Amino acid sequence: MAKVIRGKQRTLREALTTSRFLFSAWPWRAYGHMLGTPVVASLALVPLAVPAAPWLLAAAGLQRPTPMSWTWVLVLTLVGALLLAAALPWLAAPVARLERRRLRLVDGRPLGDQPRGPIQYTDPATWRAVAYLVLLVTVGALLSAATSGLLLFLVLLVVSPFLVDGTSLVSLGFATVATPEAATPYAVAAGVALLLSPYPVALLASAHGAVARALLRDDSGPLRSELVEVARSRARLVDLFEAERRRVERDLHDGAQQRLVGLTLRLGLAKVDLEPDSPAYAEVTTAHNEAKELMTVLRELVRGIHPRVLTDRGLPAALGELADRAPIPVSVHADVPGRLPAAVEAIGYFVVAEALTNVAKHSGADTASVSASRHAGMLVLEVGDNGVGGADPVRGTGLTGLADRAAVVGGRMLLSSPPGGPTVVRVELPCQ
């Protein structure tokens, strides 16, 4: 049987699942985190009293013998709300910096450095820090204070046999005792509860850490930078691939195709100089026909690499040419004003070409339609048919390839193909 080797736990939640949790440093770290929460919340509440002063004045005014008018209460409430909205981000920043350090007690995974610089009110991270501050001084402080009070009460129960002298009654909160013997059962029960208390305390601290990690994460850290760089490198690769494809198309069109045309003409002239019934005439005729067929194949290959009409006249004209070459009738409606980025035009063209190929091979349709429109910075392409439907990317009908092509420029593909049809493939490509 394979042996599972557990690595060093990096979080309190991972440590909770081990059998040596009580004998590790994690319970003490959980206690430290929990006991520190009310302290941090209290320190944060002190400066909050300044922007909240209008609210305090409004509350005091309502309790006077002659209550303050509701107009002044509303004004003070609005002023207090504006002051708090302006001040909270400035207070949340240092609290978030402190909480990032305190989070290491319960979660050793890297969180990233907090962005420094002026407070930006439009940054979502600023308001996530504000949300964390509000939760810290309310829910977090109350839960931690209540848990700390309960632990202190358990400690008092443990030492209660030493607090009674046998002559006077001592209240334990839910009972009164006068002798050490009477207090002993409560002390034993409290001792057992204290021994098991690391588990609920660890759960509370782990939940607190999860909230802190979710709200205080660094969106501008290395991971985001890497994702941005990946997106940029993907765009560079798309442009490079498009440029290379055009170079190959140009070399084939201006080089190999022109030489093949010259060869075809020379074979045609050679046929004229030969006797029709000579063996050489038959060989030259065969070579001439093969050269013409090869020219047709090469022309189709060049069109498949990058159609000339797409470069010269744009996507609507290229879609019309695709419809003319399709084996079934295809109607085209294109509303794409102006020219699009070259990469988007090329991907849109080949997406429609592959979709029409799928229609001809797999759908059993006798008509199809293509629509192209541009709105809200998106190129939207739809290819529909009246076939049998039931298209499924898992069956390898080329739909996965369409989705992959769209994803290259950050687009997406949507499919509707119920059994019995019709089938509609919708591709959305950003074209800003």
CATH of the domain at 397: 3.30.565.10
Quick one: 50 and 188 in the same domain? yes
- Domain shared by 324 and 248, yes or no: no
Same domain flag for 257 and 360: no
Clarify whether residues 64 and 115 are in a common domain: yes
Residue with tokens 């050489």: 280
Backbone φ, ψ for residue 229 (5° rounding): -65, -40
- Asked if the structure places residue 5 within a domain, the reply is no
Q: What is the pLDDT of residue 66?
A: 56
Q: Is residue 380 part of a domain?
A: yes
In a domain, 6, yes or no: no
Asked if the model's pLDDT at residue 174 lies above 60, the reply is yes
Q: Give the mean model confidence (pLDDT) for residues 399-403.
A: 76
C-beta atoms surrounding 16 within 10 Å: 17
Please tell me whether residues 141 and 183 are part of one structural domain.
yes
pLDDT tens across 86-141, in order?
778 888 888 888 898 898 898 887 765 565 656 777 778 888 888 898 899 899 99
The last residue of one of the domains, among 188, 215, 242, is: 215
Q: Could you count the other beta carbons within 10 Å of the beta carbon of residue 237?
A: 11
In terms of domains, do 201 and 270 share one?
no
- Do 422 and 328 fall within a single domain? yes
Kind of pairing between the strands at 378-385 and 423-430: antiparallel
Domain that holds residue 417: 313-430
Residues of the chain with pLDDT > 90, as a percent, come to 12
First and final CA of the chain: distance in angstroms? 58
Cβ(129)–Cβ(89) under 8 Å?
yes
The pLDDT, as a whole number, for residue 399 is 75
Q: Give domain status of residue 276, yes or no.
A: yes
* Least confident interval from 298-307, 372-381, 402-411: 298-307
Q: How many CB atoms lie within 10 A of CB 145?
A: 16
Q: For residues 249-275, b (16+ Cβ closer than 10 Å) or e, as one string? A: beebbeeebeebeeebeebeebeeeee
What percent of the chain has pLDDT above 70? 75
Instruction: Say yes or no to pLDDT of 243 above 80.
Output: no
Q: pLDDT band at 207, cuts 50/70/90?
A: very high
Under the banding of pLDDT at 50, 70 and 90, the label for residue 37 is very high
- Residue 64: pLDDT band with limits 50, 70, 90: low
Poorest-confidence range of 191-205, 298-312, 340-354, 374-388?
Answer: 298-312
Sequence-separated (6 or more) residues with CB below 8 Å from residue 272: none
Q: How many domains does the chain have?
A: 3
Q: What's this model's pTM, rounded to 2 decimal places?
A: 0.49
pLDDT of 47 higher than 70: yes
Q: Do 188 and 58 belong to one domain?
A: yes
Residue 1 falls within a domain, yes or no?
A: no
Residue of higher predicted confidence among 340 and 143: 143
pLDDT score of 195 more than 60: yes
Note whether 176 and 67 are same-domain residues: yes
Lateral strand order in the sheet of 412-416: 330-335, 368-375, 378-385, 423-430, 412-416
Q: Same structural domain for residues 49 and 194?
A: yes
Assess if residue 2 is contained within a domain.
no
Banded pLDDT at 5 (limits 50, 70, 90): very low
- 7 in a structural domain: no
Which of 196, 215, 234 delimits the end of a domain?
Answer: 215
User: pLDDT tier at 6 (50, 70, 90 boundaries)?
Assistant: very low
Average pLDDT, the chain: 78
Q: Is the pLDDT of residue 240 over 60?
A: no
